[in-house]
Each structure stands twice: as C-alpha cells, then as structure tokens.
Structure 1
C-alpha cells in the first residue's frame, strides 16, 4: 500500500481510537466529583476505575481470538458501539452501583478497541514501517488524553445548568456520541482488510468462563481486602483464603482447558517463544506501575493540591506531552534505523526513575518539579508501551498474530487492574493512618469549626461518618490543609510502591531477543509461508509480492537482498547457511515467518 492508501485506511481506526480515548479521559479529572455527587466512597472510587479495567482485561483475549477467526472490521464496529452506548447510559447514573455497571460495559468495548487496533495495524503496515505512523497514534492518544480531562473539567465546572440536578459532569458521558457515529461511518468506508484464511470458527467458551471467573475473583479480593477500617475484611482472614484458593483453582482449570481445546483462547505454546514470554512479563509490570500511578495522579492534583477538575487536567499535561513527543521521535528513529531495543530499555529506566521521584512529593511540592517527574514518566511510557506489542507481532507467525497481540494487551491490562486495586487498597490503608497521626490537630480544628460555624461542622461530620469521599472544595478551611497533607503523603506512598514494579519491566526488556524488524505486513508474511516448499522440495526462484525481496545469487534461493539500513526486505524462504554472495551475519538478521527467533545485531 502507498503512504496515502495507508493514511486513508487508518482514518476510521484513528477516529475510533480517539472516541475510545476521549470517552475514558473526559471523566478522569472529574471522577472524584462524580463519585462525591452520587454518594460514593473511596472504595467506590477505586471500583469505578477497577471495573472498567477488569472488563477490559477479561475481554481482550476474547476479542483477539475472534480477530483470528472472523471479520476484524465488524468486530471493531461492534466494540465501538458497545463502548459508546455504555458511556451514554453512564451519564444517567444516580448511584455508584449503576456507574460501576456501565463501566463494566465500557471496559468490554474498550478491550475490543485496544486489542483490535493493534491487530489491524499489523494487517496493513509492516513492523519496520510502523514507527512512521506511530506519531499519528501518539497524537491521537495525546489529544484524547490531554484534551479529554480539560474538556471534562470545563464541562463539570460550567454545564451544571443544563441538567435537572445541576450535575454538569453528566455531559462528559454524552460528548463522545457524535464522534462515534463519524468513526463508524469512516470504518465502513475506508478500512478494507485482507481476507482471513478460512478456518472453522471454534470459540473456547469454557476457557472464557474459567478465565473471567478466576481473574475477577482475584481482583475482587485485592479490592476488598485490607487492614483499614473501610476494608471489607482483613488480608489475613478466612475470606482471603477461600477467594485466593478459588481464583487459583479456576485459573488452573483455565490452563488445563487451554491445553486440550483445538482453538485455545490463549495459546500456551506461545510461551515457548522467548520474545513473547519476556514481553508478557514486561507488560504485566508496566501495567501495574503505569495504570496504578497514572490513575492516582489526577486524584493527587484534586485531593492534595486542591485543584479543580479543569485545572487537574491542565496540571497532568506534562506526562502526555512527554508521551506524544518521545513516542513520535522514537517511532521515526525505529523506522529509519530498525533499532528498537535501546529505546525500550531506556524507556523502562525512565519509567522506574520517574515513579521513584514521584514517591518523594508532598502536597506542597513545587508544581514544576512534579511536572518534570510527570514528563519523564510520559517519555518512558512513550518508548515502551507500543513497542512491546510491535516486537511480539514481529516475532510470531501470522496465524498467531491476533492471539499474541491481544495476549500482550491482556497481561498489561491485568497488571493495570491489579495495580489499581492493590495500590487503591494501599491508599485506603495509608490514609486513615496518616490522619490518625494528626488526630490532635483535627480535634482542635473541629472545635474551632464548631464554634465558628456549627452547621458546617455538622455537615462535615455526617459526610465523614458515611464514608463518602470528601473533596477539598467541600471541606472547611480549618480542616482542609490537614486532609491535603494526608492525601499528598498517602499518594506519594502509592507512587513509591509502583517503582519496584517498573524495575521488573526494565529487567525483562534487557533480556528481550534483539530481532530485526520485518518489512512485511501480516498478509504478506502469510503468503510467504504458503509459498515455502515442503522439506526436501526444490525452491523456485520467485519474488515475494509487494516486499521488494528477491532471490539472491544462488540456485538454492536462500538469500534476500538487503536494504540501505542493512536489513532484509523479507523473511528467508529456507533455513541453513547464507547463500553465496550474502554475508553470514546479515543472513542471521532475517526474520523467520514460522515464529522462530533469529537474533540480529540491531541494538
């Protein structure tokens, strides 16, 4: 495909991703206000976030498996409809339970958008050329991530008059609907994908049940357990024993099922591929660190620094700026040089360092210092996130591409869901402890408030007694600084806990095999596989379509012409030694089409 054809094909996909991003981020900075208005608690706040991540996690491998079996464009459209419809219904939420339910459906649709967008990209763009277009996806992510909170904050602060109950945040859930309609139209008109290999559709329903139940039970345990007074039960309790045991049994049943079914939800044979296994480890840990920390940055701005939802969106721009700028630059460098590993290692190191630095902040830390730490964090994420999917797609066979891509996204979402739940539990445990340290100050402030404004004192006491999540705007001035101090230190503790998790990512990516990036799309690699002769048959000298690869200098046809950067334009058709006239080291860089790993020299 030409550059213009690729851009046309990507237009609907990009708009669909923008809808997914904007619908999620438009409520991020206003979520504390939303939870407060519907009488939610800190536990409800965590569950509103966790419910969507949980549904995304469980549904991602299902979407990925379906993508290897049925029409991918249709799946994209279905996932987008589910996502936007549930977002619109969430706008009518009157209780935490209703909002959490709609967030589950948002997660189901979001899981499809996340998994399928990566798979569709592999259909139309080769791994080596993908960096050229990563800037577009980075721009969509940046605009959606930065613009969403700004728009959401403005809507929350200014559009209360357009709703009967005065809650302007409801419009945050409606704003994505017109964009979704346009995205569905563009997807239908512009996205034309290669036909899939005809395979019998066999859905692993039993695997879906075991995986969903096992992961859900595990995450419910993490969310509900704790030592704080607000926890449903203690870490060391009978509930912990039966919930963790039940999760382990269900996940073991899932593994056994996957080993026996013809079309497994997650092909466990992929774990024999070193690149896939290490990318999964890195994705879990980066999800734990990234989602866990990023989710609570907005809460830090609102609860510890007293920012409005609009200003909280503005104050988190440095992280998205780092992600956009660095992902665009690094994507272009990878396309130009074919070298990716150095950037993944550097990004993991920056992510670890930034979380450690965020662990030192307080409620009164100079904002520009916090902004610098956020920029470093965004830069690290820009180098790591998409490139982990890229190297996995480059290392597996075309037949496994959908499952492998969605598996990486699944494990990242799983890590993120566990991270949000676990770090949320740590926050819920830490906050009462810190407030307990300031008990004398709180009592003195309460006495002064009772004398100066008895009505305000009564309202505040009732809110705290109900377990409702307070916001700085709702706190009396005499008490507010104490809560800001407690939230600042508690959230810094959350960031510090995430730093060792990011360190696991760094260790995993250091050991990733250093494979050269293929110049072939998924369909071109699949065609090349079909053209490979059976073992012992002669190889016919014919070019690989649309890749520029040609047979080089030998009757055996084992070589491939190198490009200017020193890597080949396709996979070698057979194994063995290099053909005459082809450098032995260059031959080692060739990308196999059967999923086997050949180590190249690119760093």
Structure 2
C-alpha cells in the first residue's frame, strides 16, 4: 500500500469498518440531507433579501449578506479537505453540520443587520465543509468505478435547491416570515446531525505532521481579498468601488502579496494545505482548470439572466427564479444520466468534452437574446445550457478523485471546488463590469430621449430604475429600456464563449485514467467491502 503523503498514522491491522450496501446507502442519505442544507442556503436568501435588509436597516450594505456566506465557504474549503485527510472526516463533518445549524438559528433570531452578516459568515464556515466533505466521503466509501451513480444525484441536488430556494424564500417572505429562510435549516440540520452520528462510521486517526499555520493564514487573506475585490467591483453605485479608489487598489495589493506568500509557504511546508505538486498531476491540473472555467461561465450567466427576465417580462424575483427551471432540469437530467452511464461503462472523458461544447453553443445562442424573445425560446436556451453543465460538473470531480493518492482524496476534492469557487467570483465580477458598463451607456441614451414633462414617470435615474418602474413606463420608453437591457446583456455573452471553448480544448486533453475498483477507505486499509 502506498505510504500516506499526509503523514497520517497507519490504520489498525484489522479494518474497523465493513462497507455493506446498506451502510453505504445510509451514509449517502445523510450526505444528501447535509448537502441539501448547504446548497439550499445559497439561493433561498436572494428573494427575501430586499425585505430582510429593509427590516434590519441594512439596504446600503445588503451585498454583505451574500458576500459573507461566499467568503466563509471559500476560506474553509481547503481546510476541511486537508483536515479530513489528516484526522478523518467524521468529526469535521459533524462540526460542519452543527456549525451550520447553530448559525442558521442565530441568523433567524438576530435583531440587527450586523448580527445577520456575522451569522451568515458562520453559515458559510459550516456550509463549505458540508459540500467538500460530502464529496470526499463518497470517495471514501464507494469505488470510483461505481461512484458516478452516487455523484450524479449529488449534482442534481444543486439543481433542485437552486429552483426550490428562490421559491421558498419568496413564499416565506410573502406568506409567513423571512426568518423561516433560516429556521427551516434547524430541524433539517438536527435530523442530519443525528443521522450522521448514527450512520457515519468512519475512522479517525492522528497525523504526525505539523499543521500548516502559515499556509492557512496566507490562504485566508488571499482568498478574502479575491472575494472582496470581485464582490465590490461587480457592484454599482455607492455600494461598489471603481479602480480609481485607493482602498480597492490597496486591497488588490494586499491580495497579491498574500497569494505570492502562500505559494512560497506551500513550497516549503512539511505538510502543505494545498500541495503544489498536485498540479504536476496532469489529470488534476486539467480537471481543476475546467472547474475554474465552469465556475466563471456558469455563475456569470446565473447571476444576470434573472435580472433580464424581471425587466423584460415584469416577473417578480420569485417568478424570475422559477423561469430558470428549464436550466436546472437540464442539469438534473444529464448529471444523473451521465453518472449512471459512467458506472455502466467505466468511461468519463467524453462527458466533459460534449458538455463543454454544448455549454459554449448555448452561451453563443444567448447572444441572440432580444427584448422580444419569448419565454418559451428563452427556456429552451437555458435548458440546453443546463444540459451542457450537467455533463461536466461531476465527471471532473470524479476524474480528480480517481487520479490522486487515496490519502489525498479530501485535499484534491477541496482544491478542485476551491478553484471553481474562485472562478465563480472572478466570472461574476468581470461579466458584471462588462454588462453594467454597456447597460449604463444604453440607458443613458434612452433617458436622453425623455421629454422634460415626462421625466417624473421614471422614478429616478438610469442607475436606480426598477423592474416595477419599467412595467409602468409608457411606450416607447418601456420597449426602449427592455431593449437596452437585452442589447447590453446579449453581446456580453460573447466574452464567455471563448472561455468555455478553452474549457472544451482542455477537456480534449483530459487523460482518462481507468476507474479504480477500491473505495478510498479500502485502499487505505481502513475498511473492507462486504461480500
């Protein structure tokens, strides 16, 4: 057996866990419940956010509610992956569930905006662990050859929660209390914790290697700087910063120094947080690069399409989220189907290739959006995009897990997800800058045509126009504003097409390593498969 790169103490001579089919499916159920918690919370707050910040007097700083969660998730991803490899995944997983559940209660009962931001950050610290450890635990208990049929539903779960989240958020806000967006997590979290305590029979062990404190600190500073920079530059008006602001430039400088220091530290560390030698593994490098590209492209599209729908159709926030159902249906369909086919055939390379080609074609199709595009045509467009994305997301994680040493499954999984999260932050910021710049120019032209006597109908300026105000505008102003949004958004997608084509080319070079027949725990001598 390969010596553990992480320096973990070897397992006992007699494995302590027998992986029966019943135990695997029981653990899988606990993991799905936990992942549902984390994924639902990424989308449920969006529809309730205007009401939340209004009640807690935080309208001017509402972006912090989202940024705090993203920041928490991004920072802890590498930590959970590494500590799971070093000490075992059971205790970190239980800590993640408990932290997420307690933070949800805190967010639900808070009476101040500052308190809400704090508890959202705490939720992120738990949610990041739930996402990473769930994927790593599946690799621990299921051989790569059979893992597709489990990872497919995990990918589909994100699609379900992305649709269900905005719907529940809107329903709670309109018919109950926005605090149920957080209180809902309490019973689910308690149930998931109990299920994990009873079902998660995973070994714990000790590491003889020192913890990479310097790596943790420099990674945290660098990650926080990246997330904050991309968040603040993607905002508009008083909430954001432009590149002439010395505060933003100072943040960028600190971020660059922290990233450079992190690389130096990791090259010298005895037990690095993210071993840079992983990037010498061709499969890891290419699969992680594809994940980075997917993060940039997917989240950029998801962030701005609902806004276009609200402006063009007059749909409310909840309704615009529901109009994204076709995309999630596409993700669910191909994530589950590809997972089953991978298990049946043992081949996975073709799915990222086909998926990236379809996603690139779908984004190119989105460049034809106009103010007259029907909801049916729009639904078909985003369904095709979802089909492409569903073929890529889980197979690249499987490729990473299959290509690394069994002792580094957690570290490799968390690194892949970490770079996808960073890609998402960068993608949203860059696309947002392009889109809002074009939109501001076009709305200025539209507003310039308004006669002085009609100016009062606009309820503000080009920077403060709302979907409700747009629907109340007389013609031709109504059509002019909608066309301005379409004309700003559609061509902006051309900037994403080359990015996704790069992902397609990378997928062509992805080496298809034969899927292993041993679960991670079995390969490490910690478990045996039941007959």
Q: What's the TM-score bracket when you normalise by the shorter of the two chains? A: 0.7 to 0.9
Shift of 1:134: 3.1
1:316 to 296, 308, 324: 324
1:74 to 91, 102, 114: 91
Tell me the TM-score normalised to structure 2 length.
0.87
Q: 1:44 to 1:202 in 2, by over 3 A?
A: same
Counterparts of 1:5 and 1:223, CA distance in 2: 42
1:43-85 Cα deviation digits (max 9, x unpaired): 8565544442232222100111111122412211221232233
Q: 1:303 to 1:80 in 2, by over 3 A?
A: farther
Tell me the TM-score normalised to structure 1 length.
0.77
Counterparts of 1:173 and 1:352, CA distance in 2: 36
Partner residue in 1 for 2:278:
270
Partner residue in 1 for 2:44:
26
Q: Quick one: higher RCO (CA 8 Å, sep 6+), 1 or 2?
A: 2
Partner residue in 2 for 1:517:
515
Shift of 1:289: 0.9
Q: 1:317-356 maps to which residues of 2 (within 5 A)? A: 317-356=325-364
- Structure 1 gap segments, 5+ residues each: 160-167, 450-456, 529-543, 549-603
Indicate conservation of the 8 Å contact 1:131/1:335, yes or no: yes
Shift of 1:442: 4.3
Shift of 1:483: 4.5
Counterparts of 1:517 and 1:95, CA distance in 2: 51
1:477 equivalent in alignment to 2:472: yes
Indicate conservation of the 8 Å contact 2:103/2:122, yes or no: yes
1:305-331 Cα deviation digits (max 9, x unpaired): 321233223211111111111111111
Q: 1:424 to 1:106 in 2, by over 3 A?
A: farther
- Structure 2 gap segments, 5+ residues each: 1-18
Indicate conservation of the 8 Å contact 2:311/2:470, yes or no: no
Q: 1:388 to 1:221 in 2, by over 3 A?
A: same
Indicate conservation of the 8 Å contact 2:231/2:425, yes or no: no
Which structure would you say has the larger Rg?
1
Counterparts of 1:87 and 1:418, CA distance in 2: 27
Q: What number of residue pairs does the alignment pair up?
A: 510
Indicate conservation of the 8 Å contact 1:79/1:110, yes or no: yes
Counterparts of 2:211 and 2:371, CA distance in 1: 51
1:297 equivalent in alignment to 2:305: yes
Indicate conservation of the 8 Å contact 1:19/1:176, yes or no: yes
Shift of 1:223: 3.5
Partner residue in 2 for 1:599:
none
Partner residue in 1 for 2:172:
155
Partner residue in 2 for 1:183:
192
Tell me the C-alpha RMSD between the 2 structures: 3.0
Partner residue in 2 for 1:215:
223
Partner residue in 2 for 1:252:
260
Q: 1:549-564 maps to which residues of 2 (within 5 A)? A: none
Partner residue in 2 for 1:7:
25
Partner residue in 2 for 1:536:
none
Indicate conservation of the 8 Å contact 1:10/1:191, yes or no: no
Indicate conservation of the 8 Å contact 1:32/1:471, yes or no: no
